Structure 1
Amino acid sequence: MRKVIAAINMTLDGFCDHTAGIPDEEIHQHYTDLLNEGDVILYGRITYQLMEYWQPMVKGPSGEKTMDDFAVAIDKIQKIVFSHTLKNIGWDSAKLANRGLEEEVLELKQQPGRPIFVGSRSLIVQLIKLNLIDEFQLCIYPVVEGSGLPLFENIKKRTILKLIKTKVFSGGAVMLYYEPINGKSDFAG
């Protein structure tokens, strides 16, 4: 069974905003390596449209190796986009989901292959509620944003996580790797 990995950037005060972090060469390389380990990444419309930023760099590299390598990796990995408003996807390696999130993820988990990544806050929240995330990889940037979208918004179920690994980046960001501890959740409303 394939593993579902929620991989997302956050500020120190818990907000998810792809523009709030300060990615450097080391972080770009980390995410390039991560994408090369997976078969598919799931996005909501907003995050998908933010990630389209990388598409032109495949044909017109920036000259910064780690950014260009990341652009190639994000271009290569299959992307499934969950959207009620998008009608067309302009990226060859992307497609619109034609089923609901739960059905899509359950089927993907049963297929042979490498990990399934989830890169959108909204999808992560939904998958937490469905108990379908096998691992969290949270990159915490040393930034206090003050406002934004909290990752764990509207979660009613208490979930206990086990820290399995950490990675500290030279720029001050910290990657925290957690697994949910099955059977040790309780409901708080």
Structure 2
Amino acid sequence: MRKLIAAINMTLDGFCDHTAGLPDEEIHQHYTELLRQADLILYGRTTYQLMEFWRTLLENPSEEKSMNDFAVAIDKIPKIVFSHTLKDIEWNSAKLSNKSLEEKVLELKRQPGGDILVGSRSLIIQLMKLNLIDEYQLCVHPVVAGSGLSLFENINDRTILKLLKTKTFSGGAVTLFYEPTNEKTTDR
């Protein structure tokens, strides 16, 4: 069975905001390698539209090689987008899901192949509630945003995670690799 990996950047105070992190060459290289090792990535509409930025670097490369490498990797990986409002998708490597998130993910996990990534906060929350995430890779940036979108917003059950490993970046960010223990409790 394929593994579903939730990989996302966040601040020390738990907010997901693509403008709050401190992406540098090392972090771009890390995510480029993650994309190269996976077979597929899942996005919600908002994150998909934000990620379309990387298509512009294919046409007008950056002076930073790590950004260009990431642009190539994100362009190449197949993407499935979950949206109730998008009708068309122009990115050649992307397609809209015609099934519910739960139904599509269960179908994908049963298929042969490599890891499936999910990089959208909204999808991570939904998949966490469905107990379908096999691993969390939380890249915590040394920033306190003060406000924003909380990664674990509206999660009401206590979820126990087991730390598998960590990866520290020279700029101060740390990726925490966790797997769920599947122990949940609603007692507070």
TM above 0.5, one fold?
yes
State how 1:82-101 maps to structure 2 within 5 Å. Answer: 82-101=82-101
Aligned residue pairs total: 188
- Percent identical residues: 73
- C-alpha separation in 2, matches of 1:6 and 1:91: 22
- C-alpha separation in 1, matches of 2:101 and 2:18: 22
The aligned counterpart of 2:50 is 50
The aligned counterpart of 2:186 is 187
Counterpart amino acid of residue 144 in structure 2: V
State how 1:81-160 maps to structure 2 within 5 Å. Answer: 81-160=81-160
Normalised to the residue count of structure 1, the TM-score between the two structures is 0.97
Counterpart amino acid of residue 67 in structure 1: M
Q: Once the 2 structures are TM-superposed, how far is the Cα of residue 188 of structure 1 from its aligned partner?
A: 3.7
For the structure 1 residues 188 and 126, does the alpha-carbon distance in structure 2 shift closer, same or farther, using more than 3 Å as the test?
farther
Q: Once the 2 structures are TM-superposed, how far is the Cα of residue 60 of structure 1 from its aligned partner?
A: 2.4
Counterpart amino acid of residue 44 in structure 2: G
The aligned counterpart of 2:175 is 175
Q: Once the 2 structures are TM-superposed, how far is the Cα of residue 13 of structure 1 from its aligned partner?
A: 0.4
Q: Once the 2 structures are TM-superposed, how far is the Cα of residue 156 of structure 1 from its aligned partner?
A: 1.4
Query: Per-residue displacement from partner, 1:82-103 (whole Å, max 9, x unpaired)?
Result: 1111111110000011100000
Query: Per-residue displacement from partner, 1:140-183 (whole Å, max 9, x unpaired)?
Result: 0000000001011111111100000000000000000000012x
The aligned counterpart of 2:30 is 30
Q: Once the 2 structures are TM-superposed, how far is the Cα of residue 59 of structure 1 from its aligned partner?
A: 2.8
Q: Once the 2 structures are TM-superposed, how far is the Cα of residue 62 of structure 1 from its aligned partner?
A: 1.2
- C-alpha separation in 2, matches of 1:168 and 1:154: 29
Counterpart amino acid of residue 158 in structure 1: R
* Residue aligned with 2:10, SS: strand
- C-alpha separation in 2, matches of 1:124 and 1:131: 10
- C-alpha separation in 2, matches of 1:188 and 1:40: 36
- C-alpha separation in 2, matches of 1:143 and 1:34: 23
| 1:156–1:188 contact (8 Å) kept in structure 2 | no
Query: Per-residue displacement from partner, 1:43-93 (whole Å, max 9, x unpaired)?
Result: 011100000000121232113110000000000001111111111111000
- C-alpha separation in 1, matches of 2:116 and 2:106: 11
Q: Once the 2 structures are TM-superposed, how far is the Cα of residue 187 of structure 1 from its aligned partner?
A: 2.3
- C-alpha separation in 2, matches of 1:83 and 1:132: 19
RMSD (Å) for aligned C-alpha atoms: 0.9
Per mean C-alpha deviation after superposition, the further-off stretch among 54-63 and 64-73 is: 54-63
- C-alpha separation in 1, matches of 2:167 and 2:6: 16
- C-alpha separation in 2, matches of 1:108 and 1:91: 21
- C-alpha separation in 2, matches of 1:93 and 1:114: 17
Unaligned runs of 5+ residues in structure 1 are none
